[in-house]
Amino acid sequence: MALLLNFVIGFLAALIGVIPPGLLNMYAAKISMKEGRKRGIMFSIGVCVTVMLQTYIALIFARFLDMHPEYVDMLQKVGLGIFICLTVYFFFIAKDTRRQMPEGMGRSKTNRFFSGMLLALLNLLPLPYWLYVSITFSGFGWFSFNQLELLAAVLASGLGTFTMLAIYVWFFRKKDRPKRKGINMNYIIGGITAAISVITFFKIFNDF
């Protein structure tokens, strides 16, 4: 039962995390539109490999914290700093997600696989995201940090990410250029991280 719960939570959390249009899923869509589904799928697989690695690292850290709750307060302070930095990054530093995909990128399937891995490495949000998800559900007794269950969640995170990226690849198959979006998704993500920063700050303040 614990194995199934970990898999379901891992799959749904990954699926939900990739729903908002962002750099990775829109790149997958543009690659599919310009070069075909196969290269879009290869890009998506590369992304999923990196996501599974990031998930595993986050869950190992979460397991340590679950065994040492005295570090949770310190983590909240560190997390506040991380989310403030992310807010600044997405509002003022990150490139506009509405920009066109560079034309000079390699077009082979192998290049698309590795470009997916590398671009996913630039996205650090899965680390605090999975840390938060796992510890939260563990508190309800719905998530296990045993090795087998942990690996099930890691596998599910890759499958959930791939499923949503594949939907983007399939949906944006038409060859005509899509309309440019009027919203920079970095502002939305920055708004989310800013809200988390405020909530975390008041929680830390109330604990004093």
Each residue's pLDDT tens digit, 59-78: 999 898 878 777 766 766 77
Tokens, residue 71: 């570090």
Torsion angles phi and psi, residue 27, rounded to 5: -65, -45
**197 contacts 83 by C-beta, under 8 angstroms:** yes
53 pLDDT tier (thresholds 50, 70, 90): very high
Which pLDDT value is given to residue 195?
75
Q: What residues contact 16, with CB distance under 8 A and at least 6 apart?
A: none
**122 contacts 41 by C-beta, under 8 angstroms:** no
**118 contacts 51 by C-beta, under 8 angstroms:** no
Read off the pLDDT of each residue in 203-207 and give the average, rounded to a whole number.
67
- Please check the confidence at residue 207 and state whether its pLDDT lies above 70: no
Burial bucket for residue 148 (CB in 10 Å: 0-12, 13-18, 19+): exposed
Q: Return the percentage of the chain with pLDDT > 90, whole number.
A: 25
3-state secondary structure of 60: helix
pTM for the whole structure: 0.70
99 pLDDT tier (thresholds 50, 70, 90): low
